[in-house]
Protein backbone atom coordinates (compact mmCIF):
# COMPACT_ATOMS: atom_id res chain seq x y z
CA UNK A 1 0.00 0.00 0.00
CA UNK A 2 1.44 3.35 -1.09
CA UNK A 3 0.14 6.80 -0.16
CA UNK A 4 1.07 9.88 -2.16
CA UNK A 5 0.81 12.68 0.35
CA UNK A 6 1.88 16.16 1.40
CA UNK A 7 2.21 16.84 5.10
CA UNK A 8 0.11 20.02 5.02
CA UNK A 9 -2.67 18.74 2.75
CA UNK A 10 -5.84 18.38 4.80
CA UNK A 11 -7.22 15.86 2.29
CA UNK A 12 -4.13 13.69 2.74
CA UNK A 13 -4.39 14.23 6.50
CA UNK A 14 -7.86 12.65 6.40
CA UNK A 15 -6.56 9.55 4.66
CA UNK A 16 -3.63 9.21 7.06
CA UNK A 17 -6.11 9.21 9.97
CA UNK A 18 -8.22 6.52 8.29
CA UNK A 19 -5.17 4.36 7.56
CA UNK A 20 -4.09 4.66 11.19
CA UNK A 21 -7.55 3.82 12.49
CA UNK A 22 -7.51 0.69 10.35
CA UNK A 23 -4.03 -0.21 11.61
CA UNK A 24 -2.63 -0.32 8.07
CA UNK A 25 1.05 0.04 7.21
CA UNK A 26 1.85 2.01 4.07
CA UNK A 27 4.69 3.56 2.12
CA UNK A 28 4.65 7.35 2.34
CA UNK A 29 5.53 9.08 -0.94
CA UNK A 30 5.87 12.83 -0.47
CA UNK A 31 4.73 15.20 -3.19
CA UNK A 32 5.48 18.75 -2.11
CA UNK A 33 2.84 21.13 -3.45
CA UNK A 34 5.12 24.18 -3.43
CA UNK A 35 8.74 23.11 -3.96
CA UNK A 36 10.09 22.88 -7.51
CA UNK A 37 6.97 24.56 -8.83
CA UNK A 38 4.84 21.83 -7.28
CA UNK A 39 6.08 18.25 -7.39
CA UNK A 40 2.50 17.08 -8.01
CA UNK A 41 2.64 18.76 -11.42
CA UNK A 42 5.58 16.72 -12.69
CA UNK A 43 5.05 14.34 -15.60
CA UNK A 44 5.99 11.28 -13.54
CA UNK A 45 3.24 11.95 -11.02
CA UNK A 46 0.69 12.98 -13.64
CA UNK A 47 1.32 9.60 -15.24
CA UNK A 48 0.19 8.07 -11.94
CA UNK A 49 -2.64 10.49 -11.18
CA UNK A 50 -3.72 12.61 -14.17
CA UNK A 51 -5.46 15.10 -11.88
CA UNK A 52 -2.19 15.73 -10.09
CA UNK A 53 -3.74 15.96 -6.64
CA UNK A 54 -2.84 14.38 -3.34
CA UNK A 55 -3.78 12.12 -1.76
CA UNK A 56 -3.67 9.12 -4.03
CA UNK A 57 -3.53 5.53 -2.83
CA UNK A 58 -2.01 2.59 -4.65
CA UNK A 59 -3.20 -0.83 -3.51
CA UNK A 60 -3.26 -4.21 -5.21
CA UNK A 61 -2.42 -2.70 -8.57
CA UNK A 62 -5.16 -0.07 -8.45
CA UNK A 63 -4.88 3.68 -7.96
CA UNK A 64 -7.60 5.41 -5.99
CA UNK A 65 -7.89 9.19 -5.83
CA UNK A 66 -10.09 11.65 -3.91
CA UNK A 67 -9.91 11.40 -0.13
CA UNK A 68 -13.49 10.32 0.54
CA UNK A 69 -13.32 7.61 -2.13
CA UNK A 70 -10.11 6.36 -0.53
CA UNK A 71 -11.61 6.40 2.97
CA UNK A 72 -14.72 4.49 1.88
CA UNK A 73 -12.51 2.02 -0.01
CA UNK A 74 -10.46 1.41 3.12
CA UNK A 75 -13.68 0.92 5.08
CA UNK A 76 -14.78 -1.75 2.64
CA UNK A 77 -11.50 -3.69 2.41
CA UNK A 78 -10.84 -3.44 6.17
CA UNK A 79 -14.33 -3.39 7.72
CA UNK A 80 -13.27 -3.02 11.35
CA UNK A 81 -13.37 -0.59 12.93
CA UNK A 82 -16.11 0.73 10.70
CA UNK A 83 -16.12 4.42 9.86
CA UNK A 84 -19.78 4.39 8.86
CA UNK A 85 -22.77 3.39 11.06
CA UNK A 86 -24.84 0.34 10.20
CA UNK A 87 -28.25 1.83 9.43
CA UNK A 88 -28.82 3.52 6.05
CA UNK A 89 -30.15 6.69 7.69
CA UNK A 90 -27.20 7.00 10.05
CA UNK A 91 -24.74 6.31 7.24
CA UNK A 92 -26.36 9.05 5.17
CA UNK A 93 -26.10 11.53 8.05
CA UNK A 94 -22.39 10.76 8.58
CA UNK A 95 -21.74 11.07 4.85
CA UNK A 96 -23.59 14.41 4.80
CA UNK A 97 -21.51 15.73 7.70
CA UNK A 98 -18.35 14.59 5.92
CA UNK A 99 -19.41 16.19 2.65
CA UNK A 100 -20.10 19.47 4.43
CA UNK A 101 -16.33 19.70 4.90
CA UNK A 102 -15.23 17.99 1.70
CA UNK A 103 -17.60 19.85 -0.64
CA UNK A 104 -18.66 23.09 1.03
CA UNK A 105 -15.56 24.25 2.93
CA UNK A 106 -12.39 22.68 1.60
CA UNK A 107 -12.77 23.23 -2.18
CA UNK A 108 -13.20 26.97 -1.66
CA UNK A 109 -10.10 27.18 0.53
CA UNK A 110 -7.54 24.89 -1.01
CA UNK A 111 -4.19 26.15 -2.26
CA UNK A 112 -5.05 26.47 -5.94
CA UNK A 113 -8.11 28.61 -5.16
CA UNK A 114 -6.15 30.88 -2.80
CA UNK A 115 -3.35 31.22 -5.35
CA UNK A 116 -5.87 32.17 -8.03
CA UNK A 117 -7.35 34.81 -5.76
CA UNK A 118 -3.89 36.23 -5.13
CA UNK A 119 -2.38 36.15 -8.61
CA UNK A 120 -4.87 36.47 -11.50
CA UNK A 121 -7.47 38.26 -9.37
CA UNK A 122 -4.98 40.47 -7.50
CA UNK A 123 -6.31 39.94 -3.99
CA UNK A 124 -3.91 40.63 -1.13
CA UNK A 125 -3.12 38.46 1.87
CA UNK A 126 -5.76 40.07 4.10
CA UNK A 127 -8.50 39.55 1.53
CA UNK A 128 -7.62 35.91 0.92
CA UNK A 129 -7.44 35.26 4.69
CA UNK A 130 -10.90 36.83 5.08
CA UNK A 131 -12.16 34.61 2.25
CA UNK A 132 -10.70 31.54 3.96
CA UNK A 133 -12.19 32.33 7.35
CA UNK A 134 -15.59 33.20 5.85
CA UNK A 135 -16.15 29.76 4.33
CA UNK A 136 -14.97 27.95 7.45
CA UNK A 137 -17.34 30.09 9.52
CA UNK A 138 -20.23 29.24 7.20
CA UNK A 139 -19.49 25.52 7.41
CA UNK A 140 -18.60 25.28 11.09
CA UNK A 141 -21.76 27.13 12.12
CA UNK A 142 -23.82 24.32 10.58
CA UNK A 143 -21.46 21.53 11.61
CA UNK A 144 -21.59 22.59 15.26
CA UNK A 145 -25.38 22.29 15.26
CA UNK A 146 -25.23 18.86 13.62
CA UNK A 147 -22.77 17.63 16.24
CA UNK A 148 -24.97 18.97 19.04
CA UNK A 149 -27.87 17.03 17.54
CA UNK A 150 -26.17 13.74 16.69
CA UNK A 151 -23.33 13.28 19.19
CA UNK A 152 -24.18 11.12 22.19
CA UNK A 153 -21.55 12.21 24.70
CA UNK A 154 -19.90 15.17 23.00
CA UNK A 155 -16.78 13.17 22.10
CA UNK A 156 -17.60 12.28 18.49
CA UNK A 157 -19.41 14.00 15.65
CA UNK A 158 -22.02 11.25 15.48
CA UNK A 159 -23.01 8.72 18.09
CA UNK A 160 -20.37 7.38 20.44
CA UNK A 161 -17.66 6.06 18.08
CA UNK A 162 -15.26 7.48 15.51
CA UNK A 163 -16.82 7.87 12.08
CA UNK A 164 -15.82 9.37 8.77
CA UNK A 165 -17.22 12.70 9.99
CA UNK A 166 -14.58 12.80 12.73
CA UNK A 167 -11.88 11.98 10.19
CA UNK A 168 -12.98 14.98 8.12
CA UNK A 169 -13.40 17.36 11.03
CA UNK A 170 -9.96 17.28 12.63
CA UNK A 171 -7.92 18.35 9.55
CA UNK A 172 -10.36 21.19 8.93
CA UNK A 173 -9.98 22.33 12.54
CA UNK A 174 -6.20 22.28 12.04
CA UNK A 175 -6.63 24.50 8.98
CA UNK A 176 -8.77 26.93 10.93
CA UNK A 177 -6.08 27.27 13.57
CA UNK A 178 -3.49 28.08 10.90
CA UNK A 179 -5.65 31.08 10.07
CA UNK A 180 -6.04 31.97 13.76
CA UNK A 181 -9.77 31.40 13.86
CA UNK A 182 -11.65 31.62 17.13
CA UNK A 183 -13.47 28.31 17.64
CA UNK A 184 -15.34 29.39 20.77
CA UNK A 185 -18.57 30.07 18.79
CA UNK A 186 -18.67 26.31 18.06
CA UNK A 187 -18.63 24.64 21.49
CA UNK A 188 -19.84 21.21 20.40
CA UNK A 189 -17.38 21.10 17.54
CA UNK A 190 -14.54 22.34 19.72
CA UNK A 191 -15.24 19.72 22.39
CA UNK A 192 -15.28 16.87 19.88
CA UNK A 193 -12.08 18.03 18.19
CA UNK A 194 -10.30 18.32 21.55
CA UNK A 195 -11.14 14.71 22.34
CA UNK A 196 -10.28 13.34 18.90
CA UNK A 197 -6.91 15.07 18.86
CA UNK A 198 -5.84 12.99 21.88
CA UNK A 199 -6.39 9.67 20.07
CA UNK A 200 -3.25 7.90 18.78
CA UNK A 201 -4.52 7.48 15.20
CA UNK A 202 -5.20 11.22 14.96
CA UNK A 203 -1.96 12.22 16.68
CA UNK A 204 0.19 10.12 14.35
CA UNK A 205 -1.49 11.68 11.30
CA UNK A 206 -0.75 15.27 12.31
CA UNK A 207 1.16 17.29 9.70
CA UNK A 208 4.19 17.86 11.93
CA UNK A 209 4.57 14.09 12.43
CA UNK A 210 5.00 13.30 8.73
CA UNK A 211 8.37 12.52 7.12
CA UNK A 212 8.17 15.53 4.80
CA UNK A 213 7.20 18.01 7.54
CA UNK A 214 9.12 21.26 7.47
**Do residues 72 and 123 both lie within one domain?**
no
pLDDT on residue 27: 98
CATH code, domain with 97: 1.20.1050.10
CATH code, domain with 33: 3.40.30.10
Q: Point out the domain boundary residue: 81, 103, 138.
A: 81
Q: Is residue 210 part of a domain?
A: no
Domain range spanning residue 21? 2-81
CB 3 within 8 A of CB 19: yes
**Do residues 73 and 117 both lie within one domain?**
no
pLDDT on residue 37: 86
pLDDT on residue 71: 98
Q: Is residue 122 part of a domain?
A: yes
**Do residues 193 and 97 both lie within one domain?**
yes
pLDDT of residue 214 exceeding 90 = no
pLDDT, tens digit, 9 for 90 and up, residues 27-71: 999 999 988 889 998 999 999 999 999 999 999 999 999 999 999
pLDDT of residue 209 exceeding 90 = yes
Report the percent of the chain where pLDDT is more than 90. 94
Amino acid sequence: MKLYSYFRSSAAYRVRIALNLKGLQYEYVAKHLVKDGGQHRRADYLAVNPQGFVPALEHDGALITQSLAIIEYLDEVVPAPSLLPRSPVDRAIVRAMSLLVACDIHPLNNMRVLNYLKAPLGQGGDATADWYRHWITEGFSAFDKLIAKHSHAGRHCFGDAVTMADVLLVPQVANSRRYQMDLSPYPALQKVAAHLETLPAFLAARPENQPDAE
